[in-house]
Amino acid sequence: DAGVTQSPTHLIKTRGQQVTLRCSPKSGHDTVSWYQQALGQGPQFIFQYYEEEERQRGNFPDRFSGHQFPNYSSELNVNALLLGDSALYLCASSFGDRDYNEQFFGPGTRLTVL
Amino acid sequence: LAKTTQPISMDSYEGQEVNITCSHNNIATNDYITWYQQFPSQGPRFIIQGYKTKVTNEVASLFIPADRKSSTLSLPRVSLSDTAVYYCLVVTSGTYKYIFGTGTRLKVLA
């Protein structure tokens, strides 16, 4: 049973560019959340998708957008990249409508903005 | 949303019991307490979750006093592989919002 998978593993972009990160949830899961984790910090909640809709959003600008597909996989898009967007981007999946359900995290995508 | 406070770091020796306490003074009735473990360059991993009193699973115990303003994660007989960052989260049911703090860096020494 595959866990949460993310692609790519690493990515290098320059300021002003756009990036798309991808996530496949754990089998049977229908909810996907995205987090940004800067070096030495805890994960910061970006948003959560459920039934192809953004259900909740953290304190991130509109440059951060996402999408969830009918197969529950998800994408995170970041436009107009800034140096400060360099971080580990984590995807987490869970099942069902309860927000206190256990979340399963992927290994993350390391984004470096030059 | 309840804010959490944890010690920044802790050291322990192999075989000892480790207790990490998290303070969440403004916890609400609908809030659940969850702990995650994170190794370097990996995503966090769920350890345990509770609402009140005591919860135990195969890796840890979670103690929550009656006022629920704090919680203690207990790791029995730690090993070197338990060296990681441990996060306490308070999730308010119905908000679908998850606030990780800076966590507690546990270092287990031989």
Kindly list the averaged pLDDT for each block of 10 residues, start to end, along chain A of length 114: 90 98 95 94 92 92 97 97 97 84 92 98
The closest alpha carbon to A9, from A109, A112, A111, belongs to: A109
**Mean pLDDT in residue range B104-109:** 97
Closest CA to B94 of A42, A108, A50: A50
Q: Which residues of A touch B102 (CB under 8 A)?
A: 41-42
Numbered residues of chain B with Cβ closer than 8 Å to any chain A Cβ: 32, 34, 41-46, 49, 85, 87, 91-103
Has residue B2 got a pLDDT over 70? no
Model pLDDT, residue B96: 72
Using DSSP's 3-state secondary structure scheme, residue A95 falls into coil
Q: Which residues of A touch B46 (CB under 8 A)?
A: 102-104
The B18-23 sheet, strands edge to edge: B18-23, B70-75, B61-64, B53-56
The pLDDT of residue A1 is 62
* Interface touch A45/B97, C-beta < 8 Å: yes
* pLDDT score recorded for residue A2: 73
